[in-house]
Every structure is written in C-alpha cells, then in structure tokens.
C-alpha cells in the first residue's frame, strides 16, 4: 500500500487470490510468489478507515472465489471513494474484485475473463 498526499491510497492486488498462502508439501514452508491473501487483505484494509480515496491496482489470474467475494464485499462496504484499475489481467475471482470499485478502469491492452454462469 502507498499513501499519497491528500489522504489517497493506492493498493496493489497482484498475484493469485487465496484464502491463505499455500504451504509447500515437501518443506512445510510458505510458497514463494505473489498472492492476494484474504487474511492479510482484511488486516490491511482496516488500516485505511480514514482514507478519502482508495485505488486498487489489479493484475491477477484469479483463484479462490470465496476469498474474491469477501474482498469484493469489503471494498464495496468502504466509505472512501474506490477505484479499481485492471492493469494486466483480472480473471476468474479477480474479475469479481474488479467490479467492486465505484469507478472501474481497464488499462490499455488489459484483459478480463469472467466464467460463464452455470447455476
């Protein structure tokens, strides 16, 4: 997260959407990589309660749909003006998160993949 002047905050949501960071089967250690971890997101988002504007920069192939829905709901509940910007890819669960902004922007050349409804 980056807090700019004027109480504006930028949040990078890069990586796989997960409830918790995966653990390597062989070593028992956390897997290296970029993750949008639900637990960490919820902790970070609570620290933004006084922000006027929050911009979420998204580049994610998706992941855990339940974590994505929880993140979506947390963003839509914010009192701050929110903007979501897809900077590369917003696929699957990340496409849900991308819809949470009051303003939604797709960067040049960016892509969004939404699964077809099956229920």
- Catalytically active residues are 92, 115
Longest dimension (CA), the chain: 47
Residue 93's alpha-carbon distances to 4, 18, 28, 53, 80, in angstroms, are 28, 10, 26, 23, 23
Tokens of 15: 């990586």
Residue pair 97/54 in contact (Cβ under 8 Å)? The answer is: no
Tokens of 56: 């979420």
């Amino acid at each position: 997260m980056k807090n700019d002047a004027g109480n504006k905050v930028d949040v990078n949501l890069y990586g796989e959407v997960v409830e918790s960071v995966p653990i390597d089967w062989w070593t028992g250690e956390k897997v290296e990589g970029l993750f949008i971890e639900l637990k960490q997101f919820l902790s970070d988002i609570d620290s933004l309660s006084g922000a006027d504007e929050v911009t979420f920069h998204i580049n994610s192939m998706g992941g855990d749909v339940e974590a994505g829905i929880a993140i979506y709901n947390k963003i839509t509940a914010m009192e701050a003006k929110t903007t979501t910007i897809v900077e590369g890819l917003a696929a699957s669960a990340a496409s849900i998160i991308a819809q949470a902004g009051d303003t939604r922007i797709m960067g040049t050349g960016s892509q969004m993949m939404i699964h077809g409804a099956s229920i």
